[in-house]
Amino acid sequence: MAGNPALSKWESTVMSSNRPAAPPAPPASELENMYNQPAYGGPTFPPTGNKGYGGGSGDGSGGAPTRYMTLDDVVVRFASMLAVLFAAGAVAWALVPRDNVAPVLLIGLVGGLGLGLYMGWTMRVNAVTALIYSACEGLLLGVVSRAFNDRYSGIVVQALAGTVMVAAGVLIAYRVGAIRVTTKFTRVTIAATIGVFGLMLVNLVAYLFTPDGLGLRSGGPLAVIFSLLCIGIAAMNLANDFAIIERGIKHGADQKFAWFAGFSLMVTLVWLYVEILRLLGYARR
């Protein structure tokens, strides 16, 4: 999960290699010669050979990457994943019979969870796995969103608007410096993320003994507080994602990392959307 332990794992792996200190400024004559040379093609940090994500060739040989990652790379890949998610969600919403959603739910849940865990753990993400993951998430969210919308008309539009507003707010706050992603901030975010998912697992187990589990998803005051907590932690993860992507670009990450960055952003935004959808559902009861 983004900002999430998976993305932070990549940063700790790639950024752990010590970069050499910047050389002293060259004399004026050398600067003039450099100015007359062809356009500069990007940073020239030494390769790290970290599965293609940190400046290595991706084959373990430690060769220089074919091209360094840019912000455009991340935006384009994330946009393609988002387009696939919305397309799959629209198909599930419009075509899956309401009395037979179990197969689609199973495909979306197992496929999304399985691929998500694989990509997050191995940090091996490419166009095929990222887009298949997006399709699985789209199928799952399409069916779930329609069920919510059937019960509470218009709630999906509200949840989408809320997700966009929170994401945009975090991005603006990060860009203007209102949110400073320090080492302590990252550690707190990772610990909080692991903590809330641990509570979710305990809540699932508690359902075996009581109808409401721990009450974290029952719709009562505790459930509202828990959803607000999850939304806050998801927002922290987004800030962490933005910071790690920015540092990846600055430190010359391989362009292949853009798929992993897009995947991590997708995981965080999906979680944020689901929690906002739940919170609005509680409010509509």
Phi, psi of 68 (to 5 degrees): -85, 150
Is 87 a residue whose pLDDT tops 70?
Answer: yes
**Is the pTM above the cut of 0.85?**
no
∠ CA 120-121-125, nearest 5°, is 50
Overall average pLDDT of the 70-90 stretch: 95
Per mean pLDDT, which range of 18-22, 85-89, 153-157, 170-174 is the poorest? Answer: 18-22
CA distances 278 to 5, 103, 137, 158, 250, Å, are: 24, 23, 17, 11, 37
Amino acid 152: pLDDT? 94
The pLDDT value recorded for residue 25 is: 53
Tell whether the model's pLDDT for residue 55 goes beyond 50.
no
The whole-number average pLDDT for the span 103-126 is: 91
Neighbours of 191 (CB within 10 A): 12
Per-residue pLDDT tens over the stretch 243-261:
989 999 998 888 889 999 9
Above pLDDT 70, what percent of the chain?
77
Q: Could you tell me if 88 and 134 are in contact, meaning their C-beta atoms sit under 8 angstroms apart? A: yes
| Sign of the dihedral through C-alpha 258, 265, 1, 130 | negative
Residues 6+ apart with CB under 8 A from 35: none
Question: Which residues of 70-148 form beta strands (DSSP E)?
Answer: none
Q: What is the mean pLDDT of the chain?
A: 83
Q: Residues 253, 194, 105, CA angle at the centre, nearest 5°?
A: 90
Q: Where are the domains of the chain?
A: 66-284
For 70-74, what is the mean pLDDT? Answer: 92
**Helices then strands (H, E): number in the chain?**
9, 0
Q: What does the DSSP 8-state code read for residue 244?
A: H
Residue 98 near residue 149, CB atoms below 8 Å: no
As given in the structure block, the two tokens for residue 25 are 């400024």
